[in-house]
């Protein structure tokens, strides 16, 4: 090749590099197939290799979750010592940080395999037992930001993360949207997609960034663009939201759930099944109502009277409230109502066997007995887990302090307001947060007692059908009310655990977690009998 030809080739190579650096793109994996979209630029294919950046922390997090590790918190250097630059992402001098916050803040020293005592053999064994199509993931030495991998291999690795670890990571990563680099993006992007951000550089030294994680249905996705991750999110949030694939139907039995007694203020005389899909409810006052009950509703008797109950995943419940109290076609207003309805059930519902229980009642909130519409489900999933930190009320047409007026919300939406602006109009500067209205104040001594007891319990219970030993269970202080277990987050809330009755309650709620995927998990007689048997030291 002569000098002129070499010069032309060099120019073309620089142009190609520049074009690549200017491309922003999204890719996801379903049924072992990869799809991708360009968000900005003119990319014709996915890059051959991309840097792992800080995404390696996701895989260490998954390992810790599934192995039931109780690693110590990471403590940042005190003021009198020189802190490392990486500690800027962790905690203030002399402070400490724990696992979930460390993932959301991208605290590298926390997840250092050497600090955690992870051996190459343990790591390889863990990932080899997975349905893992990304061989690189089995090598502990690959957990480094400079590791180069194909996007398809990264997505395959995300697919190999267990459902348990994926749920835990998604819960932790909500903070990335609300408090981290995604805090300007979530009003456009919603809180359904959860991702770990990364920033690095390409071969030419240009900054690139993005994120990777999972949608609410478990779909693994990855996105990238020029600049740091916060720049990519700020510039492309709306396009990213529009390009994400539609969610598939999912029946997550580990999701937070709501138990509803329908028509609480209207005694039911009888229920007639009009056909396979429809039923007619006859009320004592003479009114009738036709519903499409589907499989989620159950007819029972309480005090000799017919009662209709239903148990729904939280977002399914929120969608039913939208259908009954609002209109999902008014998208921005409905998203604001979804946040209000979700907050309301967390604040006013009563814990019962791992669920929140609440009546379908005009004095609380009305819930549609029909299956939720697709539009309402989309609205609920867009705001997944999002709640407010103020006492929440709403009304059809009357506004008041900390009260959303549906009529005003619709008017604001028609004027172009986003749902976050509608929430701010109704609830002022109320802080947004995750699903639990009560943060977990960890009871370390109770957790150690439970860990010790669980070893013997597992030997006794493993022969029972449906028993699945929970992973790391957090025991949280309960300020009032009855003990309960949060099955979505592997938490147990108790007021007392040092008395015999308190330890029995802790054992009882542990069993709800251990049998959550089996009908026995909802059988209070079985759970209580087994708890008493375990506490007595007798073989169940």
Q: To 5 degrees, how large is the angle CA 229–CA 234–CA 240?
A: 85
pLDDT digits (tens, 9 = 90+) for 111-126: 999 999 999 999 999 9
Residue 284 and residue 239 share a domain: no
Sign of torsion over alpha carbons 349, 352, 355, 357: negative
The domain total for the chain is 3
Q: How many CA atoms lie within 13 A of 14 on its CB side?
A: 5
Residue 496 class from Cβ within 10 Å (0-12 exposed, 13-18 middle, 19+ buried)?
A: middle
Residue 342 and residue 379 share a domain: yes
Judge whether 398 lies within some domain. Answer: yes
| Sole residue written with tokens 């009304």 | 395
What does the pLDDT average to over 166-195?
A: 92
Report whether pLDDT(268) > 60: yes
Residue 455 and residue 417 share a domain: no
Report whether pLDDT(498) > 50: yes
Regarding predicted confidence, which is higher, 320 or 480? 320
* Distance between CA atoms of residues 337 and 62, nearest Å: 34
**What was the pLDDT predicted at 20?**
47
Closest CA to 354 of 168, 530, 533, 510: 510
Judge whether 1 lies within some domain. Answer: no
Judge whether 438 lies within some domain. Answer: no
Phi then psi for residue 496, to 5 deg, are -140, 140
What does the pLDDT average to over 80-107?
A: 81
**What was the pLDDT predicted at 11?**
36
- CA distances 184 to 187, 231, 514, Å, are 7, 10, 39
Token pair of 499 as six digits:
């008395």
Judge whether 251 lies within some domain. Answer: no
Q: What is the CATH number of the domain that holds 510?
A: 3.30.2010
Residue 189 and residue 167 share a domain: yes
Residue 425 and residue 449 share a domain: no
Residue 131 lies in domain: 7-243
Residue 358 and residue 462 share a domain: no
- 335-372 in b/e form (b: 16+ CB < 10 A) is bbbbbbbbbbbbbbbebbbbbbbbbbbeeebbbbbbbb
**What was the pLDDT predicted at 84?**
53
Judge whether 248 lies within some domain. Answer: no
Closest CA to 311 of 260, 351, 350: 260
**What was the pLDDT predicted at 293?**
66
C-beta separation of 129 from 113 below 8 A: no
Q: What is the DSSP letter of 257?
A: E
Residue 368 and residue 337 share a domain: yes
Residue 340 and residue 285 share a domain: yes
* Distance between CA atoms of residues 237 and 355, nearest Å: 34
**What was the pLDDT predicted at 251?**
64
What does the pLDDT average to over 326-331?
A: 96
Token pair of 110 as six digits:
């926390």
Residue 279 and residue 364 share a domain: yes
Q: To 5 degrees, how large is the angle CA 108–CA 113–CA 117?
A: 135
Closest CA to 155 of 25, 21, 65: 25
What does the pLDDT average to over 49-76?
A: 93
What does the pLDDT average to over 497-526?
A: 86
Q: How many CA atoms lie within 13 A of 210 on its CB side?
A: 23
Judge whether 252 lies within some domain. Answer: no
Which of 187, 220, 243 is the C-terminal boundary of a domain? 243
Judge whether 56 lies within some domain. Answer: yes
For residue 40, the Cα-to-chain-centroid distance in whole angstroms is 28
Report whether pLDDT(17) > 50: no
Say which residues have a Cβ less than 8 Å from residue 386's Cβ, sequence separation at least 6: 191, 338, 339, 342, 432, 433, 434
Q: What is the DSSP letter of 138?
A: G
Specify the pTM.
0.75
pLDDT digits (tens, 9 = 90+) for 231-247: 999 999 999 999 999 98
pLDDT digits (tens, 9 = 90+) for 273-325: 766 677 788 887 878 888 876 666 777 777 777 788 888 889 999 999 999 99
Phi then psi for residue 358, to 5 deg, are -155, 150
C-beta separation of 493 from 483 below 8 A: yes
Residue 263 and residue 212 share a domain: no
What Rg, from alpha-carbon coordinates, does the chain have? 26
Residue 25 and residue 163 share a domain: yes
* Distance between CA atoms of residues 483 and 445, nearest Å: 17
Sign of torsion over alpha carbons 134, 26, 195, 392: negative
- CA distances 393 to 69, 90, 427, Å, are 41, 37, 9
**What was the pLDDT predicted at 6?**
44
Judge whether 426 lies within some domain. Answer: yes
Average pLDDT score, the chain: 85
Report whether pLDDT(19) > 60: no
- 275-310 in b/e form (b: 16+ CB < 10 A) is eeeebebeeeeeeeeebebeebbeeeeeeeebbbbb
Residue 454 and residue 412 share a domain: no
Which of 403, 433, 463 is the C-terminal boundary of a domain? 433
Token pair of 257 as six digits:
């759930």
Which of 382, 410, 433 is the C-terminal boundary of a domain? 433
Report whether pLDDT(440) > 80: no
């Amino acid at each position: 090749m002569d000098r002129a030809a070499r010069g032309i080739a060099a120019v073309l190579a620089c142009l190609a590099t520049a074009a690549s650096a200017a491309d922003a793109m999204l890719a996801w994996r379903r049924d072992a197939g990869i799809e991708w979209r360009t968000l900005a630029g003119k990319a014709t294919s996915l890059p051959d290799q991309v840097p792992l950046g800080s995404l390696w922390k996701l895989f260490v997090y998954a390992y810790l979750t599934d192995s039931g590790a109780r690693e110590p918190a990471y403590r940042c250097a005190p003021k009198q010592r020189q802190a490392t630059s990486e500690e800027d992402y962790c905690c203030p001098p002399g402070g400490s940080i724990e696992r979930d916050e460390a993932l959301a803040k991208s605290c590298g020293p926390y997840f250092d395999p050497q600090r955690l005592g992870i051996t190459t053999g343990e790591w390889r064994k863990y990932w080899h037992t997975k349905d893992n199509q990304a061989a690189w993931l089995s090598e502990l030495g690959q957990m480094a930001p400079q590791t180069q991998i194909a996007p398809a291999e990264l997505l395959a690795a995300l697919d190999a993360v267990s459902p348990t670890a994926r749920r835990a990571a998604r819960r932790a990563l909500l903070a990335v949207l609300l408090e981290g680099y995604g805090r300007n993006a979530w009003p456009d992007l919603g809180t359904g997609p959860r991702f770990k951000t990364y920033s690095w550089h390409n071969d030419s030294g240009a900054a690139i960034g993005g994120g990777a994680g999972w949608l609410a249905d478990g779909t693994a996705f990855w996105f990238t663009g020029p600049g740091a991750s916060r720049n990519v999110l700020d510039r492309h949030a709306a396009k990213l939201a529009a390009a994400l694939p539609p969610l598939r139907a999912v029946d997550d039995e580990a999701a937070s759930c709501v138990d509803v007694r329908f028509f609480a203020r209207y005694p039911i005389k009888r229920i007639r099944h009009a056909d396979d899909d429809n039923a007619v409810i006859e009320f004592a006052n003479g009114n009738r109502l036709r519903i499409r009950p589907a499989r989620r509703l159950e007819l029972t008797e309480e005090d000799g009277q017919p009662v209709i109950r239903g148990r729904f995943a939280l977002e399914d419940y929120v969608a039913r409230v939208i259908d009954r109290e609002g209109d999902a076609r008014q998208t921005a207003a409905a998203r604001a109502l979804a946040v209000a309805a979700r907050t309301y059930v967390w604040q006013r519902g009563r814990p019962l066997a791992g669920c929140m229980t609440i009546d379908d009642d005009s004095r609380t909130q009305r819930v549609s007995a029909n299956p939720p519409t697709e539009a309402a489900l989309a609205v609920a999933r867009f705001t997944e887990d999002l709640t407010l930190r103020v006492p929440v009320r709403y009304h059809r047409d009357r506004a008041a302090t900390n009260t959303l007026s549906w009529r005003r919300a619709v008017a604001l939406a028609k004027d172009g307001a986003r749902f976050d602006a509608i929430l701010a109009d109704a609830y002022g500067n109320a802080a947004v947060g995750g699903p639990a209205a009560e943060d977990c104040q960890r009871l370390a001594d109770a957790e150690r007692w439970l860990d010790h007891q669980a070893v013997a319990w597992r030997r006794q219970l493993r022969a029972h059908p449906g028993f699945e030993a929970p992973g790391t269970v957090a025991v949280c202080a309960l300020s009032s009310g009855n003990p309960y277990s949060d099955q979505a987050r592997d938490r147990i809330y108790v007021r007392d655990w040092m008395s015999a009755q308190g330890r029995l309650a802790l054992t009882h709620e542990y069993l709800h977690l251990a049998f959550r995927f089996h009908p026995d998990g909802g059988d209070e007689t079985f759970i209580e009998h087994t708890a008493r048997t375990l506490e007595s030291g007798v073989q169940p």
